[in-house]
Structure 1
Amino acid sequence: MSQSRLATTLGGLVLLGVAAAGLLGWYVTRVPASPFDRQASVAPADEALVRRGEYVARVSDCVACHSLPDARPFAGGLKMATPVGAIYATNITPDRTAGIGGYSLADFDRAVRHGVVPDGSRLYPAMPYPSYAKLSDDDVRALYAFFMQGVRPVAEANRPSEIPWPLNLRWPLALWNGLFTEPGAYAEQPQQDALWNRGAYIVQGPGHCGSCHTPRGLAFNEKGLSEASPQFVAGALLDGWYAPSLRSDPNTGLGRWSEADIVKFLKTGRNQHAVVYGSMTEAFNNSTQFMSDDDLGAIAHYLKSLPGNPAQDGAPWSYQAASAAARPDAPGAHTYVTRCASCHGLDGLGQPESIPPLAGATSALTRETASAINITLNGSLRVVAAGVPDAYRMPAFREQLSDREIADVLSFIRGTWGNQGGAVDAQAVTALRGHTDPASSNPIILQMR
């Protein structure tokens, strides 16, 4: 190649590199458009809109992440673990210095539906904006009215994240958003009825069910954001708990639940199959029980439309009668009889709608052992239904039982009464013991105002 051609080629490559760098710079710094951009200011909302916004905030469970039990609502501070370090939920009260009091409606919309704050910084997707992107304009407007006029301002400074440099650089999140989010409000499916569409909107959007129940990819992205993907709400391991499938899997999902069962679970925290525990306790205490019966019915209707994966789930579970007392020599049987049977029964059937059965429990049928280990080590939070704390709760056994004893009793449970979840490794118990804490005995239910 001649020197002139070489110089031309190198010059072209340089120009191409500059153009690519400029395009990348534009992409990562651009501010997403909002339908509210032309609204420079918003007149005070009427009380009906504020109340509507409060309901949307309940459905969206904003209070659970942006509040601490003993602090003012929405003042932030909740520590959330991520694979690269801890982050802290921010203050979203209308305080103009520490909170979002200076946000316009368009600013608020960009933060909620795009994960971009007014200075152009990107929010970590621990804020479930991949789901909130589907919020309707009307719901965003109502949320804004509630946060600006229905929440008391709190001058509580935000805590910086514990993510080290350079992992704490946020500009790559713009690229992450481009790859793993689906911008645009929820679009109704004309081939489905109104009940299905309302349920799909809540589950995919404000309810952000997929944030916990959808498996994640290597980039910590949800593998599906709607029923278009068979991975959507198919079950996921997250923060020491296994959020089970919300699809019609007969063993690890909702295949044996009716629509009425789902509604009752979300409204009362329990049904014939299960009682809320783990992270779902906080979602129930602060969100689902406050939803209207119509919305709960819509959620149930939509979830029951999602097919399971028979090849993965295997043959449907069926109860096999057995008494734990009849197997005294089986590892874990003695511990079960002395520690568990008084509540869950020698037959594993529990006490209807007070204490859940272990026979056929999802945690005893799935290969994932985290939930079974976690609740045995640390117990459960109080379930608070209609303002009344429950009378029964799972105690913590981390001080009473060794890792081997916990592994043995869980292996016994997961191999009895037709359960086929498989054995539990004592090393898995040891690992979770070191990364979890006992559940608080105090009810976790937060006021919105």
Structure 2
Amino acid sequence: MKNMLKGLGAALCVAWPLLAQAPAGAATPAVAGAADQALVQRGAYLAQLGDCAACHTAPKGKPFAGGLPMNTPMGRIYVTNITPDAQTGIGGYTEADFARALREGVAKDGHNLYPAMPYPSYAKVNDDDVKALYAFFMHGVAPVQQANRESDIKWPLNMRWPLMFWNMAFLQKGAYRDKPGKDVAWNRGAYLVQGLGHCGSCHTPRGVAFQESALDESGSAFLSGALLDGWFASNLTGEHNSGLGRWSDEDLRTFLKTGANRHASAFGAMTSVINNSTQALSDQDVAAVSAYLKSLPPVGGNGAAVYTYDPQATKVSLDRPANDAGARVYTAYCMHCHGVDGRGFAPMLAPLAGNPNVLAKDASSLINVTLNGTGDLVINGVPSPFPMPGFAAVLDDKQIADVLSFVRAGWNNGAPAVGAAEVAKLRQSTQAGR
């Protein structure tokens, strides 16, 4: 939720679905009669909930034909073709094969999938939804003959059999079961967030084996925020500064449908989540997701009091920018969009005062978005008119550190300063290959 998105844990998080290719020459499974179009349509909706297109459709590529590269510390992997092509896609998968790949991370030929495919979350998907997804991928997706590409991971790190033991330790099998004492909306929201939405894949910290530290609200680390691929996936608990504690139900529903509200705007991997997934949710499902997330108790934060806006000290600095390096950069490059008062012009231009991403202890997202900008939010086919530009070619590491330190201290934000070395590190990792 989400995205909005590292280490090996990041690679495991950012990835989304990663089904394996069918063996060459596999026959398309026989299907009795014409596909139930209502089932196919329902599967299409569920595929949007799972954001399958985000990983399985490469830029300018054909839908679900794979080929998108993903970087891991061990090397680059390439997502696979999940169209119903019999030779290069999953056309040879039976429904049972599909269900096993989706919920257990095991391909038709028996090899283990990398947990970049979030099957620990998809394990919670119920049988009816698996059936609908299978109908969609077999009858609602055009087959594309496009061979899958081998990963760049070198031997012996490319061996997959150790994943059997990873699954034994961390995969919890069994579809989601309604929690007693919770209403219908809460349980529906929990099912979507924990299952197809796989929000924890990005927003939950990873353990020493790169497993999610918690898979549901019974674990205190669940959805408390995590670093992935140069972004910090936000805290989605009720924490009042860096989390959702100051967001109303309407704020959260607006963000899921449009990617922006009075508090923040989507960036990083969350842009793709908004574009391809959450904006398509029904009003009922958006309300359910919001009800569940708003029920989570606060976790994380730095112990500070609830944020209150105070412009005075920052106004003095902006009145005399020659005395403050960060204020000089802000005045020249940031103020026209984000305002002298730091409140921006929400939801079109994000506020910086009180923004949860500004208040987070980890400044990775702020550094990354300043260096590289944001992708376009596209809502109902209309791109956002004011995407954040990147300043990597304009500002050096010290200038970016100065302005972000100014922003994190400004308007009573009270967040830690940013160092030039942090900026240099992210510049190197995010600019590689551009």
TM-score (norm 1): 0.87
Query: For 1:264, which of 254, 261, 264 is the aligned residue?
Result: 254
Partners of 1:91 and 1:64 in 2: CA distance: 13
Query: For 2:420, which of 426, 434, 439 is the aligned residue?
Result: 426
Distance 1:313 1:91, change over 3 A: farther
Tell me if structure 2 keeps the 8 A contact 1:379–1:438: no
Query: For 2:319, which of 309, 317, 326 is the aligned residue?
Result: 326
AA aligned opposite 1:408: D
Distance 1:313 1:121, change over 3 A: farther
Q: Deviations over 1:429-449 (max 9, x none)?
A: 111111214999xxxxxxxxx
Distance 1:151 1:405, change over 3 A: same
1:42 positional shift:
4.0
1:311 positional shift:
7.0
Q: Which residue of 2 aligns with 1:308?
A: 298
Partners of 1:149 and 1:183 in 2: CA distance: 28
AA aligned opposite 1:276: A
Partners of 2:125 and 2:243 in 1: CA distance: 26
Tell me if structure 1 keeps the 8 A contact 2:301–2:361: no
- 1:96-115 counterparts in 2 under 5 A? 96-115=86-105
Query: For 1:200, which of 163, 166, 190 is the aligned residue?
Result: 190
Partners of 1:267 and 1:112 in 2: CA distance: 26
Distance 1:310 1:116, change over 3 A: closer
1:312 positional shift:
4.2
Q: Which residue of 2 aligns with 1:78?
A: 68
Q: Which residue of 1 aligns with 2:401?
A: 407
- 1:214-253 counterparts in 2 under 5 A? 214-253=204-243
AA aligned opposite 2:396: S
Which structure is larger by alpha-carbon Rg, 1 or 2?
Answer: 1
AA aligned opposite 2:334: C
Q: Deviations over 1:144-197 (max 9, x none)?
A: 000000001111111111222111111111110111121100011021000000
Q: Which residue of 2 aligns with 1:368?
A: 362
Q: Deviations over 1:183-217 (max 9, x none)?
A: 10001102100000000000000000001100011
Structure 1 runs not aligned, ≥5 long: 1-39, 441-449
Q: Which residue of 1 aligns with 2:26?
A: none
Partners of 2:427 and 2:300 in 1: CA distance: 33
Q: Which residue of 2 aligns with 1:280?
A: 270
Tell me if structure 2 keeps the 8 A contact 1:96–1:102: yes
Partners of 1:56 and 1:232 in 2: CA distance: 23
Query: For 1:46, which of 5, 19, 36 is the aligned residue?
Result: 36
1:377 positional shift:
0.4
Query: For 1:337, which of 313, 319, 331 is the aligned residue?
Result: 331
Q: Deviations over 1:255-287 (max 9, x none)?
A: 000111111101111111111111100000000
Partners of 1:438 and 1:53 in 2: CA distance: 38
Q: Which residue of 1 aligns with 2:410?
A: 416
AA aligned opposite 1:326: D
RMSD over aligned CA atoms reads 1.6
Distance 1:316 1:138, change over 3 A: same
With 317-326 and 175-184 compared, the bigger mean Cα shift is at: 317-326
Partners of 1:294 and 1:438 in 2: CA distance: 42
1:83 positional shift:
2.7
Tell me if structure 2 keeps the 8 A contact 1:50–1:145: yes
Q: Which residue of 2 aligns with 1:136?
A: 126
AA aligned opposite 1:264: T
TM-score (norm 2): 0.90
Tell me if structure 2 keeps the 8 A contact 1:379–1:439: no
AA aligned opposite 1:315: A
Partners of 1:75 and 1:276 in 2: CA distance: 26
Tell me if structure 2 keeps the 8 A contact 1:364–1:420: no
AA aligned opposite 2:133: L
Tell me if structure 1 keeps the 8 A contact 2:301–2:360: no
Q: Deviations over 1:365-404 (max 9, x none)?
A: 1121110000000011011011100111111101110111
Partners of 2:318 and 2:418 in 1: CA distance: 21
Distance 1:249 1:311, change over 3 A: closer
1:331 positional shift:
2.6
Q: Which residue of 2 aligns with 1:161?
A: 151
Question: Identical aligned pairs, as a percentage?
Answer: 55
Partners of 2:49 and 2:432 in 1: CA distance: 28
AA aligned opposite 1:287: S
Q: Which residue of 2 aligns with 1:299?
A: 289
Distance 1:118 1:397, change over 3 A: same
Partners of 2:310 and 2:71 in 1: CA distance: 40
Q: Deviations over 1:320-352 (max 9, x none)?
A: 113252242123111001100000001101012
Distance 1:397 1:310, change over 3 A: closer
Partners of 1:186 and 1:155 in 2: CA distance: 35
Q: Which residue of 2 aligns with 1:394?
A: 388
AA aligned opposite 2:382: V
Tell me if structure 2 keeps the 8 A contact 1:377–1:438: no
Partners of 1:310 and 1:162 in 2: CA distance: 37
1:220 positional shift:
1.1
